[in-house]
Amino acid sequence: ILLVEDEEKLASFLVRGLKEQGYSVDAAQSSRAGEAMAYENTYDIVILDVMLPDKNGLDVARTLRSEGYRGPLLMLTALSRTKDKVSGLDAGADDYLTKPFHLAELNARVHAVLRRKKLEGKNTLEYGNLTIDIERRQVSINDKTINLNRKEFDILEYFLLNKSRLVTRTALAEHVWGDNIDQADNFDFIYYQIKNLRKKLQESDATITIEAIY
């Protein structure tokens, strides 16, 4: 992983957290250093801060893309406005995280992005008797399509991309409901969606289960 982040404290916290997950991480504190490292080494993922002292992270993303970097790009942004996220995605980013974020959320995103990369253009995933088409947002069990609402699909996809890993409810909430999740809110709405999702999976005899850990 290449991490380009100028805030020293945050950078060392993230490096430590990612290393604990078993990733090998290089850190750069400026755009120039980051670009140089990206040319010299091969990375599976580049995590890029938008606000950098020497050059905007979006421009770094464009540069890396135009220089041939095809791997995943994850942007870190302090800006939560939709416009900025769209610019990030236009610049070639695969995903973005709004600061402040939880380490668990970064780990989950990194894992999901790397899983997607492993699919290499394949849009369909199979888990037991369940097939999920990520492009068309369709889920079928034993070749029979099941109807999920938008949130149920997002939840299921997120769980599947983090298969066999612990997903915190906060990380799930942030991923599925966005950055404006108020920590003080109760999580009833998440439990409600998961309850429905579980019921639909069960009724269709899915061989996968969502397990809760308290």
31 vs 193 by CB, closer to Ca ion: 31
Span of 2-10, 27-35, 133-141, 155-163 interacting with Ca ion by CB under 5 A = 2-10
55 vs 115 by CB, closer to Ca ion: 55
Contacting residue, 2, 3, 4, 6, with Ca ion by CB under 5 A: 6
Question: Under DSSP, is residue 55 helix (H, G, I), strand (E, B) or coil?
Answer: coil
Sign of CA dihedral 173, 45, 21, 56: negative
55 vs 151 by CB, closer to Ca ion: 55
96 vs 153 by CB, closer to Ca ion: 96
Tokens of 53: 């002292």
CB of 57 to Ca ion, least distance (A): 8
How many chain residues touch Ca ion (CB under 5 A)? 3
Sign of CA dihedral 78, 84, 86, 89: negative
CA distances from 84 to 43, 58, 63, 93, 98 (A): 25, 9, 18, 12, 10
Tokens of 155: 């939840």
Tokens of 38: 């990206």
51 vs 114 by CB, closer to Ca ion: 51
Span of 1-9, 34-42, 89-97, 147-155 interacting with Ca ion by CB under 5 A = 1-9
CB of 43 to Ca ion, least distance (A): 19
Residue 96 lies near Ca ion (rule: CB under 5 A):
no
- Pattern 40-59, Ca ion, x by CB under 5 A: ---------x-x--------
List the helix and strand counts (H, then E) for the chain. Answer: 8, 9
Give me the residue label for tokens 């995933």: 125
List the Cα angle 142/144/148 in 5-degree steps: 115
CB of 37 to Ca ion, least distance (A): 17
Contacting residues toward Ca ion, per CB under 5 A: 6, 49, 51
